[in-house]
């Protein structure tokens, strides 16, 4: 009897002990297990970053190399002179834009572009090589090439197949020379008959038609491995001042822009636009202090967030009258980058080009532009260069006659 009294409490103790052990082992995660999980997550994140070749390249770039990518500059002459060589070798610029003052004939243009690429051959990042080739009166290519009609004439025909083929011809022309960027098509709506700068550069006054024909042209350019730049965001069609000379003021509000001017840009972005050029126009009802080209409201809030554009944003030329007559170009460049721009376009004047580059470096050194922001901009730029597989390899000569024949055949079929 006494033995039975002793056995019962011993059984109770054994059961309690066993239950307690089960709680500890199955329901409570040991601290070491949590640490292991955290380490694993960190390892996965680091592995993802290290496997991204673009991020790997950025991690090895100097500050000067990164800042250089944020500028596209003009060239002084018909040849690759000391200024353009300095911009490449010392400042590591991301690219160049050529104008009529740089283009004499076909062979000279090919040689100039090949020379720029040769000078940049030691760089790990190839050059953007761009030109304004829209057709009509905005054409920089040599006179040996047959001219294409302006967008206004293409708009009258209003045929997407024709517009796409025009884009293909533009892309083939530029690619043959060694260009890889076309600052076209124009997506401005010609809503103001007094506009001195857009006019026949626009497809017309209807937002649907401008969208349809502009996207077809954009896709045609892309098909020849040339990067199209849609312009002039958020719409330069309702201005009465030429921004090359002064600062246009447009008193349209966001409701009006959403209903008209922004429509072609929104549609082009949905259709795969790679690069957007922002105009030097002041819209006081949206941002009373800053032109679009360095307005955070317009670039970040509207273009980036509202229209969901994740590609490369570039300014119009910062040496235009709209800027240099009203603002300090260095301050404007820094403000533009902080507003959300990726590339500052400085088309003329070597001193202005180097001054802008130095101003960006100074702002980066002081933290006025954050390293995180710079890395994000460089990432978008390198991603676009990688997408189009840009290289600094030389271009051979090509048959102008063959391209002219294609142009004549195309125009005869539609016009």
SS (H, E, C) 340-387: CCCEEEECCCHHHHHHHHHHHHHHHHHCCCCHHHHHHHHHHHHHHHHH
Does the pLDDT at position 15 exceed 50? no
Whole-number Å distance between alpha carbons of 339 and 14: 71
Bridge partners (DSSP) of residue 206 are none
38 has a pLDDT exceeding 70: no
Give, to the nearest 10 degrees, the angle between helix 82-89 and helix 350-366: 20
Among 242, 244, 301, 349, the one annotated catalytic: 244
pLDDT bracket for residue 23 (50, 70, 90): very low
For 126-145, write each residue's pLDDT tens digit: 999 999 999 999 999 999 99
What are 242-292's pLDDT values in tens digits? Answer: 677 778 899 999 999 999 999 999 999 999 999 999 999 999 999 999 999
321, HSE (Cβ side, Cα atoms, 13 Å): 8
Range with the largest mean pLDDT of 192-201, 229-238, 395-404: 395-404
Instruction: Please say whether the beta carbons of 247 and 198 come within 8 A.
Output: no
Active site residue 316: yes
Q: Which residues pair with 182 in a beta bridge?
A: 131, 228
- Would you say residue 48 has pLDDT above 60? no
Report in angstroms the alpha-carbon separations of 57 from 91, 99, 125, 129, 227.
18, 32, 9, 21, 22
CA distance 36 to 167: 56
Q: How far apart are CA 274 and CA 268, in angstroms?
A: 9
pTM of the model: 0.88
Give catalytic status of residue 331 as yes or no: no
The predicted pLDDT at position 215 comes to: 98
C-alpha closest to that of 220 among 170, 259, 177, 278 = 170
What pLDDT sits at residue 183?
98
Angle between helices 160-177 and 207-222 (to 10 degrees): 40
pLDDT at site 63: 97
pLDDT band at 197 (very low <50, low <70, confident <90, very high): confident
Per DSSP, the three-state class of 229 is strand
Is-contact 410 154, C-beta < 8 A?
Answer: no
| Burial (CB count <10 Å: 0-12, 13-18, 19+), residue 258 | middle
Supply angle C-alpha 278, 281, 284, rounded to 5: 120
- Residue 47: helix, strand or coil by DSSP? helix
Angle subtended at Cα 273 by Cα 269 and Cα 274, rounded to the nearest 5 degrees:
135
Of the residues 274, 316, 342, 392, only one is catalytic, namely: 316
Strand partners, 276: 230, 313
- Predicted confidence (pLDDT) at residue 19 exceeds the cutoff of 60: no
> Bridge partners of 120?
none
């Amino acid at each position: 009897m006494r033995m039975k009294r002793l056995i019962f409490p011993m059984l109770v103790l054994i059961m309690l002990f066993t239950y307690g052990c089960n709680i500890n082992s199955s329901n409570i995660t040991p601290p070491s297990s949590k640490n292991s999980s955290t380490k694993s997550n960190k390892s996965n994140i680091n592995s993802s970053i290290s496997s991204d070749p673009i991020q790997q390249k950025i991690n090895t770039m100097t500050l000067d190399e990164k800042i250089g990518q944020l500028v596209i500059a003009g060239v002084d002459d018909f040849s690759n002179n000391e200024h353009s060589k300095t911009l490449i070798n010392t400042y590591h610029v991301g690219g160049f834009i050529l104008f009529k003052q740089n283009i004499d004939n076909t062979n000279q243009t090919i040689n100039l572009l090949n020379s720029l690429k040769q000078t940049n051959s030691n760089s790990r990042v190839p050059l953007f090589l761009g030109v304004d080739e829209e057709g009509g009166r905005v054409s920089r290519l040599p006179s040996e090439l047959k001219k294409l009609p302006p967008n206004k004439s293409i708009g009258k025909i209003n045929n997407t197949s024709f517009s796409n083929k025009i884009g293909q011809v533009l892309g083939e022309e530029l690619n043959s020379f060694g260009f890889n960027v076309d600052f076209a098509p124009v997506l401005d709506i010609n809503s103001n008959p007094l506009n001195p700068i857009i006019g026949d550069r626009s497809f017309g006054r209807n937002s649907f038609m401008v969208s349809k024909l502009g996207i077809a042209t954009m896709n045609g350019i892309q098909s020849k491995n040339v990067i199209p730049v849609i312009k002039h965001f958020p719409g330069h069609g309702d201005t009465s001042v030429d921004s090359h000379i002064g600062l246009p003021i447009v008193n349209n509000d966001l409701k009006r822009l959403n209903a008209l001017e922004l429509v072609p840009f929104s549609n082009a972005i949905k259709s795969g636009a790679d690069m957007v050029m922002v105009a030097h126009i002041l819209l006081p009802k949206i941002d009373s202090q800053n032109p679009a080209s360095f307005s955070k409201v317009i670039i970040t809030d509207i273009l980036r967030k509202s229209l969901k554009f994740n590609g490369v944003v570039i300014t119009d030329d910062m040496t235009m009258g709209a800027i240099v007559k009203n603002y300090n170009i260095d301050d404007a460049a820094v403000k533009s980058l902080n507003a959300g721009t990726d590339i500052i376009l400085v088309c003329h004047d070597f001193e202005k080009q180097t001054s802008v580059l130095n101003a960006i470096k100074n702002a980066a050194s002081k933290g006025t532009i954050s390293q995180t922001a710079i890395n994000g901009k460089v990432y978008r730029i390198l991603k676009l260069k990688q997408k189009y597989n840009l290289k600094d390899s030389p271009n051979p000569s090509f048959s102008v006659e063959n391209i002219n024949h294609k142009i004549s055949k195309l125009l005869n079929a539609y016009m």
